[in-house]
Amino acid sequence: MEATVRAVISHFYNEEYLLPWWLAHHVDLFDVGILINHGSTDRSVEIARELAPHWRIVNSRLTQFDAALTDLEVSNYEWELPTCWKIALNITEFVLPARPLSEIESELTEQGRMGCACSGFIVVDDAPERAPTYEQPLVLQKHWGLDDNAVQDPDLRASLGLPRIIGRNRFYHSNSTGLYTVGRHASAHPDYAYRSRDLLIFHYRFAPWTEAGVRRKTHHRDKMAPADIARGWGAHHVNSDDEWTAQFRKVRPNAIDLSSEPAVRGALRRLTEQAKGPGQVPAVGPRAERSLDYARVVYSLQVTGADLQAQIAQLQTKAADAQAQVAASQAQIAQLEARLNAQTPLLTSNTRTVDLVALVVRRLPRIVRRLFRRR
């Protein structure tokens, strides 16, 4: 198979809501698609056969979403496509090239690389009341969110409503297999260290925030492997409805119009030109510029606040150490006072004995003379 052939591999379970957008988006990008069905009970398989009839639909050998075994299953299908350029995605992830894939692949090959990490973005629904339609590409309808690589500190990411660890820089490569870490969020391949700013991933974690979109986020709960839950792998898949709502409310104020970012805008423009419908890339007007400025200010304040909190924590630690030293010194003083008090009666007794001996010594001559006179 020629190296210019491109393949995408994904596993799915009851994804009839997102699958029409996902398939329409990727079917023209990739020559080969391998869709691994985890026992879907809705119309997912029917939709895949209708929108991508030339792609393969295979049944998973797994009865649960076991992260490590799912990675192994995906890697086994990658081995069938050893020289293809390929990527493994979830149905919530959309590849957005800012340039033709052929240009990106040629550039990587000239650099001696077999692949690169993509640049991930977390998509957040800025208008939940405006449900997207299947007549338009989803990425042209919902493109607000946050750059997944803009903030790296886990605590700061959590304060913004992001996952604690960066995990959407998927590996696009021509190696036999992706050499993935658990969950395929990273790779042990050395070329994964190079991240392309022209190959983007839109991860629809918080969009579309419609009734159907929220409902699909919870249907994986019963499919999760208990051992994975115990390890904390894929913990978001077992979130309750209230937990998802709380996360959405936390992240939504920090979202910006991602079309304000040059790379994203270029990718959306390319998609608009290729789209069959009348979708348009929204102009970068005052609202988008203000949203970008606001996000930068938020990030700056958050980082500054985090630095101040770290300095306060250091000072508090030093103060605690000083208090501990004072307490230790006070304890030593108390011990010395106790020993001194214990020795005071003995010292008093010794002093009286010395005084008595001195008196006897002073009077001894008189006593001796009296004794001789009596004789």
Domain count, the chain: 1
Q: Are 183 and 71 in contact (CB under 8 A)?
A: yes
Cis peptide before 253 (omega within 30 of 0): no
End-to-end CA distance of the chain: 139
Q: Is residue 263 part of a domain?
A: yes
Q: How far is CA 242 from CA 15, 127, 158, 163, in A?
A: 22, 19, 17, 17
pTM > 0.85 = no
* pLDDT at 115 > cutoff 90: yes
Q: How many CB atoms lie within 10 A of CB 93?
A: 22
Q: How many helices (H) and strands (E) does the chain have?
A: 11, 10
Distance CA 46, CA 33 (A): 15
What CATH number has the domain bearing residue 119? 3.90.550
277 band by pLDDT with thresholds 50, 70 and 90: very low
Residue pLDDT, tens place only, 287-333: 344 444 444 444 444 444 555 565 666 667 776 776 887 688 788 77
DSSP per-residue string spanning 253-307: GG-EEGGGSHHHHHHHHHHHHH-SS---PPP--HHHHHHHHHHHHHHHHHHHHHH
Q: Is residue 294 part of a domain?
A: no
Residue pLDDT, tens place only, 134-183: 999 999 999 999 999 998 999 998 888 888 889 999 999 999 999 999 88
Q: Is residue 82 part of a domain?
A: yes
Report the pLDDT value the prediction gives residue 327, as an integer from 0 to 100: 82
Report the pLDDT value the prediction gives residue 365, as an integer from 0 to 100: 74
Q: Is residue 327 part of a domain?
A: no
Q: What is the mean pLDDT of residues 105-110?
A: 97
Q: Is residue 248 part of a domain?
A: yes
Q: Is residue 304 part of a domain?
A: no
Distance CA 272, CA 277 (A): 8
Residue pLDDT, tens place only, 60-83: 999 887 888 999 999 999 999 998
Domain hosting residue 264, numbered range: 6-284
- SS3 assignment, position 12: strand
Percent of the chain with pLDDT over 70: 77
Q: Is residue 375 part of a domain?
A: no
Q: Is residue 153 part of a domain?
A: yes
Residue 156: exposure state from Cβ atoms within 10 A (0-12, 13-18, ≥19): middle
> Which amino acid type is present at position 346?
L
**Low-confidence winner among 27-31, 149-153, 215-219, 363-367 (lowest mean pLDDT):** 363-367
Residue pLDDT, tens place only, 324-365: 876 887 887 788 778 767 765 654 555 566 566 667 667 777
Q: Are 242 and 83 in contact (CB under 8 A)?
A: no
Distance CA 83, CA 296 (A): 41
Distance CA 254, CA 277 (A): 30
